[in-house]
Structure 1
Amino acid sequence: MPDASFPDVPADRLRDGGWTLVDERVETVFRLPTARVEGATRVYDDAETRAAVEAATGIDRQWRFFFATALSFTPPLSPGIGPAMILPTVRSEAQSAFADQLRDRGFEDVERGRTERVRVDSGDRARLRTYSASLALDDADATLSITGWVGVWHGDGFRIAAGAYPDRSLAALLGVSDPDDALQRAPSDYQSELLTLIRAVH
């Protein structure tokens, strides 16, 4: 059984996508007037694509990422405060934090996009928000443009799941001839995989 304080992502989904756990931490993510909100987060890197790019170009960097967070409150929320009352605040804070994470990774022109509602695998409804951003790649003489998605919902506790992926194939971005299949994947493939991962978080 996984540690109950951390969100669970089905191992087969991670394995099929070549995802590797690269960070696991518990930290205060924001504060409410009456409570400290802690997030137990697992961060994953697309190790398969990273290795394919390095083999083809010698460039070693993260091209896609995905993370899942379970929130807890200290002290616990009082019985008079239901999840629906604080969900808008949690959603707003999570989206702002995601944009800040992109900036911390060096991305610029971070812009908030549209929202969508989806049903996650647990049966709960989540609201997703898109983001766009770009990063100049000095080691590749190119600019990496990405799309990010962040989802927030409440089921068996509050969950946040998010990630980002390139807006074009890495073979085209990096000018790789005779590329590995992993470098030819289209943005629509990346999007489908990320949204499947987000919905699978428990």
Structure 2
Amino acid sequence: MPRAPDDSDVPAPAVPVDRLDGTWERVEDATETLFGVEGADVRGHTVVYEDTDLRAAVREATDPSLDQSWRFFFATRLAFRPPLAPGIGPAMVLPSVKTEAVRRFADDLADRGVVGVERGRRERTRTEDRSRVTLRQVTGEVPLPDGDPVPVEGWVGAWADGDIRLAGGAYPRSSLADRFPGAEGQVLDGSAADYRDELFDLVRATG
């Protein structure tokens, strides 16, 4: 969608910057109109962080053309322009926002080179400020020039706490160290369980 001329009309989401040190790098910070609901445009301020060390390690161990985003985390704060009509609060439009968030997240994975994207199970959690969040699983796989594809798992959730927030991300579901033995160091040694736990921690810490 076209980027709006003013990126200052929606505050940035609060993300746990202290937990995003090291391999995480902010690769996007933008505001745009995402979709419409109840006669209003839904504007979203999104920040995206990527594990750029993991991306570089795979690229250096293989053909440089395999420049794939393997692991990322995003957070979005939404606002309505014009504001929602009196009597219609964020919680009332949250179901529609959740549906649209999952659809857009699935499309984003496809844009990142993930094929066979499918929606999966739901899992409930709470943010650190005790807001309830239902996360939706989205799965697929990244095809490789040689060998079996790499399975990928993503999660996305939306919740209302004054404003509506979205957060989620994706990661490989199998060891990249096994797929790319030429890589040096321990960058590829992360497990799907560790990646999932870290993603859920980041989502819970988003405000």
Q: Which amino acid aligns with 1:73?
A: F
Q: Secondary structure at the match of 1:133?
A: strand
Q: TM-score, normalised by structure 2?
A: 0.88
Q: Which amino acid aligns with 2:162?
A: D
**Counterpart selection for 1:41 from 34, 40, 46:** 46
Match of 1:184 in 2: 189
**In 1, Cα distance between equivalents of 2:89 and 2:27:** 34
**In 2, Cα distance between equivalents of 1:124 and 1:57:** 43
Q: Which amino acid aligns with 1:157?
A: D
Q: What stretches of structure 1 of length at least 5 have no aligned partner?
A: none
**In 2, Cα distance between equivalents of 1:106 and 1:30:** 23
Q: Which amino acid aligns with 2:48?
A: V
Within the alignment, does 1:201 sit opposite 2:189 as a pair? no
Q: What is the correspondence of 1:167-178 to structure 2 with a 5 Å cutoff?
A: 167-174=173-180, 176=181
The CA deviation at 1:77 is: 1.1
**In 2, Cα distance between equivalents of 1:129 and 1:143:** 23
**In 2, Cα distance between equivalents of 1:141 and 1:104:** 22
Match of 2:139 in 1: 132
State the Cα deviation string for residues 116-152 of structure 1 (Å, max 9, x = none). 11111122111100011112123x5441210000011
How many residues align? The count is 197
The CA deviation at 1:104 is: 1.8
**Counterpart selection for 2:34 from 22, 29, 35:** 29
C-alpha change, 1:56 and 1:105, in structure 2 (3 Å) is closer
Within the alignment, does 1:19 sit opposite 2:24 as a pair? yes
Match of 1:98 in 2: 105
C-alpha change, 1:53 and 1:150, in structure 2 (3 Å) is same
Report if aligned partners of 1:168, 1:186 keep a CA contact under 8 Å in 2. yes
**In 2, Cα distance between equivalents of 1:58 and 1:12:** 33
**Counterpart selection for 1:71 from 67, 78, 85:** 78
**In 1, Cα distance between equivalents of 2:27 and 2:35:** 23
Q: Secondary structure at the match of 2:198?
A: helix
Q: TM-score, normalised by structure 1?
A: 0.90
Q: What is the correspondence of 1:152-171 to structure 2 with a 5 Å cutoff?
A: 152-171=158-177
Q: Secondary structure at the match of 2:92?
A: helix
Match of 2:5 in 1: none
Match of 2:94 in 1: 87
**Counterpart selection for 1:117 from 94, 104, 124:** 124
Q: Which amino acid aligns with 2:174?
A: R
C-alpha change, 1:76 and 1:180, in structure 2 (3 Å) is same
Q: What is the correspondence of 1:3-18 to structure 2 with a 5 Å cutoff?
A: 5-16=11-22, 18=23
